[in-house]
A and B are shown apart, each in its own frame.
Chain A
Amino acid sequence: MTDVPRTQWVAALATQLPEVRPLVDSLTEGWQVRHVAVPKAGLMLLRMEEVVLGEDYYLGEVPVACSRVEIELPDGMTAQGGAQVLDDDEESAVGFAVCDAILSAGLPGAEKVAALVDRGAEELARRDQVRRGMLARTQVDFSLLSDKDPDGEGTA
Chain B
Amino acid sequence: MTLAAFALRLLSPAAPPEAPETWRQFRRTCLETLAPVLLVAAMIGSIATLMGHHAFLSLGTQAMIGSYAGLVALRELAPLLTGAMIAAKPGTALTAAIATMRASEQVAALEVMGVDPFRHLLGPRVLALVLAAPPLLVFADVAAILASYVTAVGALGVASSTYMADLTRFTGVRDLLCGMLKVVVFGGLAGLISAYQGYRAAGGPRGVSLAITRGMVRTTLAIVVANYLLSEAFYR
Do A and B pair up? The answer is: no
User: A residues near B, CB below 8 A?
Assistant: none
User: B residues near A, CB below 8 A?
Assistant: none
